[in-house]
Structure 1
Amino acid sequence: MNRITIAEAAATVHGERSPLHDFLSPDSIAIIGASADPTKRGYKAMVGLIKGHYAGAIYPVHPKLAEVLGVRAYPSLDALPGPVDLALICTPAATVPGILEECGRKGVKGAIVLASGFKETGEEGARLERAVLEAARAGGVRVIGPNTSGMFNLHKKVNLLDLANVKAGDIGFISQSGNMLLSLVLEAEHNGHVGFSTYVGPGNQTDIGFNDYLRYLGEDPRTRVATLYVEGFRDGRRFLRVARETTLKKPVVVYKSGATEEGRKAASSHTGALAGSYAMTVDLLRQMGVSVVEDSDEILPVAEGLALLQQARGKRVAVVSDGGGQATIASDRLAEAGLTLAPLSEETRRRLAEILLPQASLVNPVDVAGSSDANPALLADCLRIVAEDENVDSVFLVGMFGGYYTRFAENLLGGEMRGAEAMIELARATDKPLVIYSLYAPVKPPALRRLHEAGLPVYASIEHAVRVLAALGERGIHLATRGQSEPAAAPEPDAAVLAAFTAAGEQGRDLFEYEARALLRAHGVAVAEERVARGADELAGIAAHFGEQALAMKVVSRDILHKSDAGGVKLGLRGEAELRTAYDAILSSCRAYAPQADIEGVLLTPMARKGVEIIIGVSRDPIFGPVLMFGLGGIFVEVLEDVAFRSIPLSRHDARSMVDQIKARRILDGVRGQVPVDTEALVDLLLKVSGIVSAYPQIAELDLNPVMAYEDGYAVVDARVIVDAGEEGKS
């Protein structure tokens, strides 16, 4: 089985140790607001520490009590006889700023603020929260919360939640929902083999955010998989950077509920309207190697599977089953999850035929068809044979293993136990993950208990098992392609383009289309030539220049963003006469549409030949920063929203994966006799756009819509660049 070493797990993400270790693994704890009332958190925290046999110093702080649960109490932090690593503040919200000032004087390293009543309640609460942060920073105290459920570190025997029947293990969990923690703890208790290292409820993330907690879990030698339940990121871009580095060392699992709407509300372009979505967040997390689960009941199964098995080489799965129906279900779920049934070699099928009955199916999925009814250990032999096939990345046992002695005869228990030992031996000898689904898993028969105790994941749901296989394959591919995942360097800004941004800023406008096209052209993007006519007298020369080419004419105006709505676009024009007629019509329509509009003229460019419509866009998400979108145009983006997102800057692997991700990918490959488009040219275009946005922070949004994709390249038909009003040079 794939195991990371303690040294690998302990390796720091940023080259220096996270300060969170100083108080998430504390040697001394002050309970401020310790209580003798069993209904109070100050009581429960004391009970959790005492019952859990915490070996560090416990300091109950209460102005009137002499002791709490037999532990000497102190009237204030100043009265404590020793240093304090962690303070648990159990008092009302209004008292917190003053208490944090005391913590600063005492040299407390970290404080957990349980109270609610801060920014989540309105402006008055927000002012109080700002006071909390000011007091903490003045005293050098890091703050968990406020409005948090608390924390535990079970290997340190710190259980400030007084949770019963929760065992120490290797899953680190950060959750904005206390109920989600309780759900996973109960699920782990039923599982019987899953334990936790550290839990923290980040609360309002006033000081410490998800990126800080992830960094800590990435460095923690007791954590083999970092698991997060996220409602909202405070600094998404920083989180992505930490996630990118952490996933090199250990798996990261995220369940993201909801989605930010800020980008959608602020957006004025098509790209911006699609950004800020849940789909965007998921794409960005997966870009960094995070395993995203979309159903809450998948969190613990996937975390357990990744903790135990770490990764697979790829997505080719061999299924061994003792029932055709469940083999079919497994095949369906595997396909839906983006996994493939590994094509078994002739040698593998020959070896299977030697040990199975004639009616057995020797293609993947392998159905033993009764061959194991009298000898369940035979399944282990089948697993070993398929695991030795070079076409196989992971192995999936599906059926009723563990229940043969119940279903058929008690004397089969020995055969099942021998089969379990053989499976354990196989798992230790191969780097190919072995995942087990058994319909008897809920009753935990001896053979399945033995597998689980030995570190093999056993699931009662085909869907959960498949999701684990998908996560293992995705992680293995991500790690294998990291060498191709270094972001491309940004180009040097072009002087003429910078001058255009300066002019746009001084005039309080966005780039005109001809300026946007010049920006693209300056950095190697294939853009057809254009001419701008600022008066009708220029049309004759333009008509002569383009000859018989069909032209598109579009209004150029800082005040007309949606040209088609204003009647500002005419297509398929040839010759001076048609240009003059179209020019007059555009000016008339646009002046009627926006009488006060400042019309600079019209832009003329050759019509692009028919191809596959593509949309490429960039928006600056308020949480994640610059994000690039790619998809097919037309109905695919308007109705189906079949698009892919990546955080800028992109690597070549990122760009290629965007093209591969969209559901309509087959259209690019050519369907019904159509010629495939040049996808490498599209990859190159995505990289150039990523570089342009990296080079020019003045760009708030960028839309290339449509881009026509051809078998021999592409053509950018329309380009739009919205200037960031906050950037230097914008008036």
Structure 2
Amino acid sequence: MNPIEGHLSTRSPLHDILAPTGIAVIGASADPTKRGYKAMVGLIKDGFRGDVYPVNPKADMILGVRAWPSVAEIPGSPELALICTPAPSVPGLIRECGRRGIQGAVILASGFAEVGGEGAALERQMMEAARAHGVRIIGPNTSGVFNLHHQLNLLALDNVKPGGVGIVSQSGNMLLSLALEAQHNGHVGFSTYVGPGNQSDIGFNDYLRYLGEDRHTRVATLYVEGFRDGRRFLEVAREVAAMKPVVVYKSGSTEQGQKAASSHTGALAGSYAMTVDLLKQSGVSVVQHSDEILPVAEGLGLLQKAAGKRVAVVADGGGQATIASDRLAEAGLELAELSEATRARLREVLLPQASTVNPVDVAGSTDAHPSLLATCMEIVAADPGVDSVFLVGMFGGYSIRFAESLLGDEMRGAEAMVDLAHATDKPLVIYSLYAPIQPPALRRLHEAGLPVYASIEHSVRVLSALGERGQYLAQARPQAREVSVDAHPELEATFARARREGRDLFEYEAKRLLREHGIAVPEERVVREAGELAEVAATFGDAPLAMKVVSRDILHKSDAGGVRLDLVGRAALEEAREAILASCRAYDPDADIEGVLVTPMAKKGVEVIVGVIRDPIFGPVLMFGLGGIFVEILEDVAFRAIPLSRQDARGMVAQIKARRILDGVRGEPAVDQEALVDLLVSVSRIVEAYPDLKELDLNPVIVNADGYAVVDARVIVEREPLHEESPA
């Protein structure tokens, strides 16, 4: 079993709030329909060891506990208050809590910013009171809190047991679903639960930091509908994921990044796919189906990681071995290639008809000796080419299916598997047909900390998460930060001028920005008058040229007839210029046309796109994928938060589905992928140096075996200055 190692750089202030020695229940009630009643029941039934102060001006006792008429009159200073009263009472109660020295308040009421108007104003009043009196707010509009290792159960949930799964969920029903699933499982327990509600004060990143520090939490699990500060969450997730697993289920998609997006990158950013990529970049295990949340959390909590994605399958049925192989391949996992020495050891213990090629099919060898499955697992686990072991079939049910006399041997097999789990750092994952009825051998495995699943698909998802986490940890070891670049004063002046004129950078200005910072951009000329074409033709000679309109008002040049290709000689250039101007004036008679841009045609290669968007939630994000006019249709792109490491950049290139095109197909040579990595890292540096760069599109970039060339570049300027502007 893998221990949890590491520590966070600072201690969360939430420990005293979420593990209090005293709690005030404001609005405590003897009415079973009230939340103030349920909270009191949860505290009493779970045996909360601290002091409980029911606050109710109309009662002397609540469920046998002395009540107090107001917060001001309770003795002592409990760290936490649970406020069960209606929304309008909350600001005043927060002030009372602050005066009493209460550090945090859980606010159940709805009717705040989520309803807009007066509710939003009420929430502002609440936060003004909280800040003035030093009270941290959980909620409002929260489902509540529990900390089972401290007997703090403010939800009064029955049949939940302490364990290592910490949960933060924006859906109370999702928490209830997970609690019922854990109850059916019988072995999964929880540490802390928080419903963040409106996140008016404490957000996901704060709760994640707490779970990262909490010694009772082995895996942090989050159900997220929307991040308040996605950038900060990614930073905390990276820090926490280095020491324990983080599992996120993200519902819906983030549309904010698509508002007013006028570039390809802007149209694609803000998507669910972008959120998933950024979370994975920070080491988060993302689950895409709600029924995977608890299985993946359990598996990661128990096993932590695998060294890689090479899986050895041991099966007692050919059909399920095939199904497992299919699911593993779909999940991006590999069937480990077993060494000849491993296969020889398997042949020594199995019947001749058994298959010793992964997946290993015992083919009846275990019908009378189910403990032999443990022997096979031990043999394949010893193979250096194996990262994890997957047992598939009917283990646990041999004594039910064949003969009761096999129970003893099956139990010996279970003990051998437990011993193997303690002796190896390779995860052992078990799928069994009999998992739903939990026979003795499977109960023994579960009790010893081995995950047992009733679904091949869930098992494979766990194996995938273990492999991804292991690879992330191996690659996330401290790397030298990429050297930053300094902004060029003349280019800063260009941004300032464009902003004053209410426009974006012209293409030639955008390309100068790239060229000044070492990005390969072909030579080009801006032509404002027809007489300049003779000198341009002489300069480029017989090289075929491209010509494009330069206009602040024409965003998509091809749509306006503003592009001509394969031009050679002065006559062709003059004819093309006239045609472009005529087409563009017909397209938009009011367009301000500065001239045309002439540049050599790029060499043959693969078209890719590199883009940047400043997402309102996650900050600057870089996109990479196949380019050209179909990028928004294919959506075969990868995203990473800026700044990028070289490892991030390599991961982007490897991630896209069309990566085989980059490797060379049908006789075409492979492209220079390290040059692409250089380009991605260089763009990341530029974005850090120029905060007025709002969006960027390099589309297409032609990449081939000799490197790359940026054919078209667009930079959208931030209209509101992000720093004090100096005179140009």
Q: Tell me which residue corresponds to 2:4.
A: 4
**Residue 657 of structure 2 is aligned to residue 663 of structure 1:** yes
Segment drifting more, 103-112 vs 445-454: 103-112
Shift of 1:560: 1.7
- Secondary structure of the residue that 2:150 maps to in structure 1? coil
Question: In structure 1, what is the Cα distance between the partners aligned to 2:474 and 2:83?
Answer: 45
Shift of 1:593: 2.2
- Letter paired with 1:582: A
Q: Tell me which residue corresponds to 2:621.
A: 627
Measured against aligned partners, the alpha-carbon deviations of 1:101-140 in whole angstroms (never above 9, x if no partner) come to: 1111111100011001112112221111111111111111
**Residue 677 of structure 2 is aligned to residue 698 of structure 1:** no
Measured against aligned partners, the alpha-carbon deviations of 1:508-541 in whole angstroms (never above 9, x if no partner) come to: 2111111110111111111101101111111111
* Alignment match of 1:145 (pick from 125, 139, 144): 139
Q: Contact 1:505–1:730 (CA<8 Å) still a contact in 2?
A: no
Question: In structure 1, what is the Cα distance between the partners aligned to 2:215 and 2:75?
Answer: 31
Q: Tell me which residue corresponds to 1:525.
A: 519
Question: In structure 1, what is the Cα distance between the partners aligned to 2:484 and 2:210?
Answer: 31
* Alignment match of 1:709 (pick from 686, 703, 711): 703
* Alignment match of 2:447 (pick from 443, 447, 453): 453
Segment drifting more, 97-106 vs 318-327: 97-106
Q: Tell me which residue corresponds to 1:649.
A: 643
Shift of 1:467: 0.5
- Letter paired with 1:272: G
Question: In structure 2, what is the Cα distance between the partners aligned to 1:281 and 1:327?
Answer: 34
Shift of 1:341: 0.3
Question: In structure 2, what is the Cα distance between the partners aligned to 1:632 and 1:558?
Answer: 26
Runs (5+) with no aligned partner, structure 1? none
Segment drifting more, 494-503 vs 406-415: 494-503
**Residue 576 of structure 2 is aligned to residue 582 of structure 1:** yes
- Letter paired with 1:508: G
Q: Tell me which residue corresponds to 2:559.
A: 565
* Mapping 1:242-253, distance limit 5 Å: 242-253=236-247
- How many residue pairs get aligned? The number is 725
Q: Tell me which residue corresponds to 1:297.
A: 291
Q: Tell me which residue corresponds to 1:25.
A: 19
Q: Tell me which residue corresponds to 1:279.
A: 273
* Alignment match of 1:514 (pick from 508, 518, 526): 508
Q: Tell me which residue corresponds to 2:541.
A: 547
- Secondary structure of the residue that 1:483 maps to in structure 2? coil
Segment drifting more, 117-126 vs 624-633: 117-126
Question: In structure 2, what is the Cα distance between the partners aligned to 1:105 and 1:279?
Answer: 46
Question: In structure 1, what is the Cα distance between the partners aligned to 2:155 and 2:479?
Answer: 41
Q: Tell me which residue corresponds to 2:343.
A: 349
Question: In structure 2, what is the Cα distance between the partners aligned to 1:636 and 1:569?
Answer: 18
Q: Contact 2:107–2:141 (CA<8 Å) still a contact in 1?
A: yes
* Mapping 1:258-657, distance limit 5 Å: 258-483=252-477, 487-634=481-628, 637-657=631-651
Measured against aligned partners, the alpha-carbon deviations of 1:577-621 in whole angstroms (never above 9, x if no partner) come to: 111111122222222222222221111110112211101100011
Measured against aligned partners, the alpha-carbon deviations of 1:269-308 in whole angstroms (never above 9, x if no partner) come to: 0101000000000000000110000000100000000110
Shift of 1:495: 2.4
Question: In structure 1, what is the Cα distance between the partners aligned to 2:291 and 2:80?
Answer: 33
- Letter paired with 1:3: P
1:461–1:636 distance in 2 versus 1, CA, 3 Å: farther
Q: Contact 1:615–1:703 (CA<8 Å) still a contact in 2?
A: yes
Question: In structure 2, what is the Cα distance between the partners aligned to 1:637 and 1:568?
Answer: 20
Question: In structure 1, what is the Cα distance between the partners aligned to 2:108 and 2:397?
Answer: 47
Q: Contact 1:30–1:58 (CA<8 Å) still a contact in 2?
A: yes
Q: Tell me which residue corresponds to 1:202.
A: 196
Measured against aligned partners, the alpha-carbon deviations of 1:352-405 in whole angstroms (never above 9, x if no partner) come to: 000100000010000000000010010111000000000000000000000000
- Secondary structure of the residue that 2:477 maps to in structure 1? helix
Shift of 1:484: 6.3
- Letter paired with 2:152: V
1:443–1:247 distance in 2 versus 1, CA, 3 Å: same
Segment drifting more, 51-60 vs 477-486: 477-486
Q: Tell me which residue corresponds to 2:679.
A: 685
Shift of 1:569: 1.3
Q: What TM-score comes out, normalization by structure 1 length?
A: 0.98
Q: Contact 1:31–1:61 (CA<8 Å) still a contact in 2?
A: yes
- Secondary structure of the residue that 2:252 maps to in structure 1? coil
Question: In structure 2, what is the Cα distance between the partners aligned to 1:537 and 1:135?
Answer: 71
Measured against aligned partners, the alpha-carbon deviations of 1:486-519 in whole angstroms (never above 9, x if no partner) come to: 5523211122222211221222211111111011
Question: In structure 2, what is the Cα distance between the partners aligned to 1:155 and 1:210?
Answer: 21
- Secondary structure of the residue that 2:634 maps to in structure 1? coil
**Residue 206 of structure 2 is aligned to residue 212 of structure 1:** yes
User: Root-mean-square deviation (CA), in Å?
Assistant: 1.2
**Residue 33 of structure 2 is aligned to residue 39 of structure 1:** yes
Question: In structure 2, what is the Cα distance between the partners aligned to 1:342 and 1:371?
Answer: 22
Runs (5+) with no aligned partner, structure 2? none
Q: Contact 2:264–2:632 (CA<8 Å) still a contact in 1?
A: no
Question: In structure 2, what is the Cα distance between the partners aligned to 1:487 and 1:281?
Answer: 23
**Residue 102 of structure 2 is aligned to residue 108 of structure 1:** yes
- Secondary structure of the residue that 2:25 maps to in structure 1? strand
Question: In structure 1, what is the Cα distance between the partners aligned to 2:630 and 2:430?
Answer: 39
Question: In structure 1, what is the Cα distance between the partners aligned to 2:471 and 2:254?
Answer: 29
Shift of 1:485: 5.3
Question: In structure 2, what is the Cα distance between the partners aligned to 1:294 and 1:240?
Answer: 18
- Letter paired with 1:273: A
Question: In structure 2, what is the Cα distance between the partners aligned to 1:437 and 1:607?
Answer: 58
Question: In structure 2, what is the Cα distance between the partners aligned to 1:148 and 1:186?
Answer: 20
- Secondary structure of the residue that 2:149 maps to in structure 1? coil
Shift of 1:635: 6.8
**Residue 718 of structure 2 is aligned to residue 724 of structure 1:** yes
- Secondary structure of the residue that 1:266 maps to in structure 2? coil
Q: What TM-score comes out, normalization by structure 2 length?
A: 0.98
Shift of 1:640: 2.2
Question: In structure 2, what is the Cα distance between the partners aligned to 1:525 and 1:653?
Answer: 19
Q: Contact 1:227–1:252 (CA<8 Å) still a contact in 2?
A: yes
- Letter paired with 1:498: E
- Letter paired with 2:678: D
